Chains A and B, each alone.
Chain A
Amino acid sequence: MSVVPAEVLPGGAQAVEETAPGAPAAELGPRARLWPALLAVYRAQLSRARVARIPLLFVATFQSVGIMVMMRGVVDSRGEAESVVAGSAVVVVAFVALNLLAQYFGQLRASGGLDHYATLPVPPASVVLGAAAAYASFTVPGTLVTAVFGCVLFGLPLGNLWILLAVIPLAGAALAGLGAACGLLAPRPELATLLGQLGMSAALLLGVLPPDRMPGFIQFARDLLPSTYGVEAYAHTFGARPDWAVVLADLGVCAGVGVVSLAVATWAYRRAAVR
């Protein structure tokens, strides 16, 4: 519909000048390759930590430490203590990788910030993986602090703490993939925030408490949550002779969910970037 009088409409010739047909197409500019672009995104995201993320990382750690202090008065068996410490450590990962990343992508999408990346010749996987890797990295100090504090508080051995170096990236990949997918698929940023919060609450409620006493359907929900396998992997390493096959299987589940969820997130990014 237009109120423009007919005589001022472009009569074709007025606005159009023919270009030479069959002129050779110009050479395309370079394309950013997957790994260099991923590293560039990762580095840029990591630099944001200084300005924007440190207070939130502190909150994430403080929350987990608080949970453990609270549980100290309730928990009496060694097995329960292992669940609480492992669960609290992984909650830090869920808070940052799932919740904060969902918020970040939700806001980026809503504010039109994705246009910046979408008009650069960068593979979608570089943007999603770079951001996810950076958010997973943010969780390293908080997770380590939580685990060390928990072990000291509950008198658990610190010997196998190194397993966190596998748990953080693998659980981080699974949770960051979910977070990124939630953020990019949610039609509104508030919804992305909500999904991120819900995911983190689920990780907190289902991950920290020992599963034995829970009703069947809660145990089933717990099994569906990828963070559970990170918690289990870490919890299994507290024993004197850990069953490494079980640990490896749990980490394998994290890795598998990570691959799938990051693939979904990459697809969601592509969908959100070009409408």
Chain B
Amino acid sequence: MCAVRGLTKTYAAVKGRRGAPAVPAVRATDRVELVVRRGEIFGLLGPNGAGKSTLVRQLTGLLRPDTGSVEILGHDIVRHPERAARLLAYLGQESSALDELTVSLAAETTGRLRGLDVRQARSERDAVLEELGLTPIAGRALKKLSGGQRRLACFAAALVGERPLLVLDEPTTGMDPVARRAVWAAVDRRRAERGATVVLVTHNVIEAETVLDRVAVIDQGRVIACDTPARLKERVAGEVRVELVWREEAPLDVPEVAVLRERAVESGRRWTLRLAPEEARTVVATVTGGAAFGALDDFTLATPSLEDVYLALGGAARQGLVKA
């Protein structure tokens, strides 16, 4: 369906100028290898700046890689970048091209520019707006909408004029749960009825775990793991995450707590620990009884998430994946 081999892109170094520090050359994607199967919802997960968007821009023909190949449905996208637009629909992070249009005109115009005639574009527009619950706000300009509604309108535009591959760069940013559900229902319907394939960029771990068939974890331009969310989580099945929140300060006079400090990632009053299950049990027993309990505000004990997988794999962003 979509195969990426040895994809590499280096952004040239930028010389420092007054008010702008020098930026060294950055390898945004580094020998990326991926195969997305037909009908799959395939995720690219990674922290900000990991190279996800660069990878997606190379998939969509927007950015020419230095080396490597991209093949979509049998077409060489590096050699013929213009074919990408006829094979896939892309939802980028920016809506500035559509901002001043009404929801209805944004969807219709996009359909027209995807080669539909007026009648087709209008009927597809009506169907998609209805499907996503956008009909009541069809006459409003995108820039007058809330961030989530605007995102949903852009998603609607991406669906008009159907394509076998959907490339969605953080489609649900800013959306409320109802809009989110509408997005995933629309994606599922296209997959079930027409075998559509989806490549999804996200750094929302919870979403990644619930909607993705397979996920590639990207770090510093490289694919550091690629598997189903469940199989990835098995890799760190031996660990649980313990979070301790202290009322004011950690009771370092309690020896067991003082020992834990070395292994904890501290963030204000919050300590995060990754421990074997038995160890975790002991820690919870220690802090919920005795002298430490008085200083404890809250604690949680959680099974590993994809975020833990990322950290266990050596991901560079120590603070994790999830956007604050």
A residues adjacent to B (C-beta < 8 A): 1-5, 8-10, 12, 14-19, 23-26, 28-33, 36-37, 40-41, 43-44, 47-48, 51-52, 107-108, 111-122, 126, 273-275
A-B contacts besides A28-B83, A40-B112, 9 pairs, CB < 8 Å: A4-B316, A30-B115, A31-B115, A36-B118, A37-B112, A116-B94, A119-B60, A274-B63, A275-B64
B97 touches A108 (CB 8 A): yes
As a 0/1 sequence over residues 147 to 185 of chain B, the CB contacts with chain A under 8 angstroms (1 = contact) are: 000000000000001111000000000000000000000
Decide: A119 near B85, CB < 8 A? Known: A3-B314, A19-B35, A48-B100: yes
Tell me the interface secondary structure of chain B in the complex: mixed
Question: Can you name 19 A-B residue pairings with CB atoms under 8 Å?
Answer: A2-B222, A3-B314, A3-B316, A4-B313, A16-B3, A17-B37, A26-B75, A28-B83, A30-B86, A36-B112, A41-B113, A43-B105, A47-B100, A48-B100, A119-B60, A119-B61, A119-B62, A119-B92, A122-B85
| A residues less than 8 Å from B74 (CB atoms) | 23-26
| A residues less than 8 Å from B100 (CB atoms) | 47-48, 51-52
As a 0/1 sequence over residues 23 to 45 of chain B, the CB contacts with chain A under 8 angstroms (1 = contact) are: 00001001001110100000000
A30 touches B116 (CB 8 A): yes
| B residues less than 8 Å from A9 (CB atoms) | 222, 224
Q: Give min CB distance, B74 to chain A, whole Å.
A: 3
Decide: A112 near B314, CB < 8 A? Known: A48-B101, A274-B61, A274-B81: no
| B residues less than 8 Å from A41 (CB atoms) | 109, 113
B residues adjacent to A (C-beta < 8 A): 1, 3, 5, 27, 30, 33-35, 37, 57, 60-64, 71, 73-75, 81-90, 92-98, 100-102, 105-106, 108-110, 112-118, 141, 143, 161-164, 216, 219-226, 313-314, 316
Interchain residue pairs A-B with the least CB separation, the first 6 = A25-B74, A30-B115, A26-B73, A113-B96, A116-B97, A40-B112
How many A-B pairs with Cβ below 8 Å? 171
CA distance A221 to B24 in the complex (A): 43
CA distance A117 to B100 in the complex (A): 15
Q: Give min CB distance, B7 to chain A, whole Å.
A: 12
| B residues less than 8 Å from A10 (CB atoms) | 33, 222-226
Q: Give min CB distance, B108 to chain A, whole Å.
A: 8
A122 to chain B: closest residue by CB: B113
CA distance A52 to B101 in the complex (A): 10
A120 touches B113 (CB 8 A): yes
B164 touches A117 (CB 8 A): no
B227 to chain A: closest residue by CB: A14
A28 touches B86 (CB 8 A): yes
B109 touches A29 (CB 8 A): no
Q: Give min CB distance, A235 to chain B, whole Å.
A: 36
| A residues less than 8 Å from B223 (CB atoms) | 10, 15
B105 touches A120 (CB 8 A): no
Q: Give min CB distance, A189 to chain B, whole Å.
A: 11
CA distance A76 to B173 in the complex (A): 64
Q: Give min CB distance, B178 to chain A, whole Å.
A: 25
B101 to chain A: closest residue by CB: A44
B114 touches A120 (CB 8 A): yes
Contact of B163 among A8, A29, A115 (CB under 8 A): A29
Contact of B141 among A25, A30, A40, A51 (CB under 8 A): A51
